[in-house]
Amino acid sequence: MRRASFGWIAVLTLLWSGLHAVADAPTLWGIPVSEYAQRRAQLSKMLEPDQIALFASETTPPTRLKFRQESNFMYLTGLEAVDSVLVILPVGSPLGAEAVLFLPRQSRFSRLFDGPLPEPNEQTRRETGIQDLRERGELRAFLAEALQAHPRVLLNRPARAALADAIREANPEASLSGVERLMASLRVVKSPAEIALMRKAIEASIAGHRALAQRLAPGVYEYELEGAAQDAFRRHGSEREGYPMIIASGPNACILHYNANKRRVGANELVLVDIGAEYSYYTADLTRTYPASGKFTPRQRELYIAVLDAMKHAEKEAKPGITLGQLHQKVVAFFRNHPLRAKDENGNEQTLDRFFVHGLCHMLGMDVHDLDPNIPLKPGMVFTIEPGLYIPAEGIGIRIEDNYLVTETGVENLSRALPREPNEVERMVRSGRARR
């Protein structure tokens, strides 16, 4: 019996040790360090023998702006470094490396104003798993050698601005182009760790919508609603908004990217709310349209239901193998065949497709309009569905938007917890008044 008991204890100890080791796996921003290494290795394999990829970090922003790292640099390093450059070389490069990170040494004044930043030292090597760390000042000499073997240079946005002259100086025959197409194919399918962060971003965004809806009433200003959403974002761990909030009341809802958010909400108006929280560099993108008075008018309701039915139609059609463009055309046809009509700016009656004036879908991830390789949907992709109708002659703009994960057989609505049925939306708005 003693031996059996000891055996069970040993097994449990081993299991606990294994679980503890998994729990302690190093991460940056919620992504395992090993996953960043896999991303760099995969990109290295995607490069042709004469190519090299350069990713510059963002520079220190103006005082009034909060720092956010460029998405591709963050995707490959997990570092909020400034004035740094990551170089990815193809497999088998004569330089004998696949990833080299150039980081500046931090001055005493920089530490005083900015706090500690990543430097080329053992701590950064340990935290990132990038073994080849060099000082930023060594980059020009490195390029002079690397561009002889790899004259085709792929650059991210900051690198195109900061490094073009240095590249031409190192090799006047070098060809420069963007790296986004290659990165799109790398980033479009999300890992389990990425999806977990996106669920957190969506959770914070739903909280923002609920707080805003409960604050909504005739007479409030759009910026008051924005503040309610921002407060909820922060309370749910969001570092920033994924994009400028759209809080568009009445006629403002017909301006697709309106974000001044300064108008006073009128009675019986609709308020189109398009907001998304960013959580550890991954963003959500959720839209709802709320009746300011807590109840849709008959006309508002019938148009709202038309948009919601178009959304449900797209959800049924969304599955692996279909393209976003094909989904869009299905919703255009849905609106064209809908029995409702509306008048255009000239007073002419039109079918509803005339008032659906933007794309139905876009990819979602580190950026609200994430890099898109324009390929059919496959499991692991995350995208939006967002039908809308905008009728300036009636002062009505309606959009509903949810976020979807592609599965093996269809899609999962990641934001399904946010009400969208008209009765539920009305109750959510009215519930805030009961508390005041």
Q: What is the pLDDT of residue 432?
A: 80
Nearest to 249 by CA among 291, 207, 282, 210: 291
Tell me which residue has tokens 């991460």.
Answer: 27
pTM higher than 0.85, yes or no?
Answer: yes
Same domain, 171 and 216: no
Specify if 113 maps to a domain: yes
Specify if 322 maps to a domain: yes
Low-confidence ranges of the chain (pLDDT < 70): 1-24, 434-436
Same domain, 239 and 152: no
Q: What CATH number has the domain bearing residue 340?
A: 3.90.230.10
Q: What is the pLDDT of residue 434?
A: 65
Same domain, 154 and 196: no
Q: What is the pLDDT of residue 5?
A: 37
Specify if 73 maps to a domain: yes
The residue type found at 275 is I
Same domain, 265 and 360: yes
Domain edge (last residue) among 160, 187, 214: 187
Tell me which residue has tokens 């503890």.
Answer: 20
The answer to whether 254 touches 389, Cβ cutoff 8 Å, is no
Same domain, 314 and 376: yes
Same domain, 167 and 200: no
Sort strands 99-103 and 240-241 into parallel, antiparallel or unpaired: unpaired
For residues 182 and 229, give the distance between their C-alpha atoms in angstroms, rounded to a whole number.
Answer: 35
Domain edge (last residue) among 149, 170, 187: 187
Specify if 368 maps to a domain: yes
Specify if 18 maps to a domain: no
Q: What is the pLDDT of residue 12?
A: 38
Same domain, 254 and 301: yes
Same domain, 358 and 395: yes
Same domain, 166 and 179: yes
Residue-range definition of the domain harbouring residue 136: 28-187
- Total structural domains within the chain: 2
Nearest to 101 by CA among 134, 69, 71: 134
Domain edge (last residue) among 152, 187, 222: 187
Q: Which residues contact 279 (CB under 8 A, 6 or more apart)?
A: 197, 198, 200, 201, 204, 236, 237, 238, 239
Q: What is the pLDDT of residue 320?
A: 98
Q: What CATH number has the domain bearing residue 152?
A: 3.40.350.10
Specify if 61 maps to a domain: yes
The answer to whether 352 touches 331, Cβ cutoff 8 Å, is no
Same domain, 208 and 59: no
Specify if 367 maps to a domain: yes
Same domain, 216 and 348: yes
> What number of helices (H) and strands (E) belong to the chain?
14, 21
Distance, CA of 294 to chain centre: 31
Same domain, 167 and 235: no
Q: Which residues contact 302 (CB under 8 A, 6 or more apart)?
A: 340
Specify if 4 maps to a domain: no
The residue type found at 137 is G
Nearest to 312 by CA among 416, 405, 417, 208: 416
